[in-house]
């Protein structure tokens, strides 16, 4: 039988921070020690079934939100972004992208949004360059800096 342990430390930390709770306060409400909660938040211990149920009951957490697969779409988009020649040398590998998608999904979504805007501007600049070339005019060296 497959061992499907759930390591959801960053998500637990976001829930706790969103509720403005200390580790001690959350641990007390969950019936665990603060040191155990600390280990969970650092992904050094998986969530137990009992703890998953307690999280759901105490904080109305959707258990599906704690599944690692929920970040797969963000990871895939980040992987595509960082395969762009502009950024290809910036990250060590997939594990760093997984950690970014898991630990900071809003920041990862922001990176994706910025990249999409960058690509849209590149397309617009290319279209403008082609239009000017057809008219016999060229973008000078300032063309790359041309605000569109």
Encode the chain (148 residues) as per-residue pLDDT tens digits.
456 778 888 889 989 999 999 999 999 999 999 999 999 998 899 999 999 999 999 999 888 777 655 566 777 888 888 888 888 778 767 888 878 887 788 888 899 899 999 999 989 988 888 888 888 877 665 555 545 4
Indicate if 54 and 81 belong to the same structural domain: no
Shared domain for 53 and 78, answered yes or no, is no
Q: Is residue 2 part of a domain?
A: no
Answer yes or no: do 82 and 49 share one domain. Answer: no
Are both 102 and 46 inside the same structural domain? no
Q: Which of 39, 66, 93 is the last residue of a domain?
A: 66
- Domain check: are 131 and 84 in the same one? yes
Domain count, the chain: 2
Question: What b/e sequence results for 40-64 when a residue is b if at least 16 CB atoms lie within 10 Å of its CB, and e otherwise?
Answer: bbeeebbbeeebbebbeeebebeee
pTM: 0.56
Range of the domain at 108: 70-145
């Amino acid at each position: 039988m497959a061992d499907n342990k759930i390591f959801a430390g960053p998500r637990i930390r976001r829930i706790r921070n969103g509720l403005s709770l200390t580790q001690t306060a959350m641990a007390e409400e969950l019936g665990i020690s603060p040191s155990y909660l600390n280990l969970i938040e650092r992904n050094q211990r998986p969530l137990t079934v009992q703890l998953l149920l307690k999280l759901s009951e105490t904080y109305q957490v959707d258990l599906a939100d704690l599944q690692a697969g929920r970040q797969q779409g963000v990871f895939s988009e980040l992987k595509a972004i960082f395969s762009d020649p502009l950024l290809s040398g910036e990250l060590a590998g997939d594990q760093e992208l997984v950690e970014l998608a898991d630990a900071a999904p809003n920041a990862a979504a922001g990176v994706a949004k910025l990249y999409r805007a960058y690509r849209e501007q590149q397309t617009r600049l290319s279209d403008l360059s082609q239009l000017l070339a057809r008219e016999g005019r060229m973008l000078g060296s300032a063309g790359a800096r041309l605000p569109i």
